[in-house]
């Protein structure tokens, strides 16, 4: 289809492609920048973290910070707690989604739209449930994967 375009349309298409590429690169940078910032912060000393203006690349890479973190916090306990919640939740959610997806795609029944809307609405439940628990009961160590320091 590009063979039939006039030179002005080709130029316009090239400019649009360039602008779209720049927008995608900018959005990718917005996604990668916080990840880089956390990674570089994990390799810096506390004194260097509190300096102003902050350095974008650490002058000294402190890989020992990771071993200190494993010794300071009960990392493996938090890891086990997290996965004791994640594995059953993901397994149950996937199996349920398979059955529900099949039923909504292939079967006709009364109240199908209402039940579908309820299912879609419950997708929001995992996002607000921890917020609700911490707001209602206060922050504490539930024995789950979210350490709160208590």
> pLDDT tens digit string along 25-83?
999 999 999 999 999 999 998 888 888 888 888 888 999 988 888 888 888 888 888 88
CA separation, residue 13 to residues 2, 7, 132, 136 (Å):
9, 10, 50, 55
Give the pLDDT confidence score for residue 32 in this predicted structure.
94
pLDDT band with cut points at 50, 70 and 90 for residue 24: very high
> Under DSSP, is residue 106 helix (H, G, I), strand (E, B) or coil?
helix
- Is 119 exposed, middle or buried, given 0-12, 13-18 or 19+ CB atoms closer than 10 A? middle
Mean pLDDT, the chain, rounded, equals 83
Give the pLDDT confidence score for residue 50 in this predicted structure.
86
Residues in contact with 141: Cβ distance below 8 Å, sequence separation at least 6, in sequence order: 147, 148, 149, 150
Angstrom distance (rounded) from CA 63 to CA 14: 45
> pLDDT tens digit string along 4-14?
777 788 889 99
């Amino acid at each position: 289809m590009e063979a039939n375009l006039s030179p002005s349309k080709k130029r316009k298409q090239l400019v649009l492609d360039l602008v779209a590429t720049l927008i995608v690169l900018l959005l990718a940078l917005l996604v990668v920048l916080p990840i880089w910032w956390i990674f570089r912060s994990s390799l810096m000393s506390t004194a260097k973290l509190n300096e102003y203006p902050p350095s974008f690349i650490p002058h000294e890479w402190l890989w020992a910070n990771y071993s200190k973190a494993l010794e300071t916090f009960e990392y493996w306990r938090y890891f086990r707690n997290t996965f004791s919640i994640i594995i059953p939740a993901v397994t149950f959610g996937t199996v349920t989604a398979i059955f529900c997806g099949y039923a909504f795609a292939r079967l006709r029944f009364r109240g199908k739209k209402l039940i579908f809307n309820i299912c879609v609405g419950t997708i929001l439940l995992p996002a607000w449930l921890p917020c609700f628990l911490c707001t209602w009961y206060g922050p504490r160590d539930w024995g789950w994967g979210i350490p709160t320091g208590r």
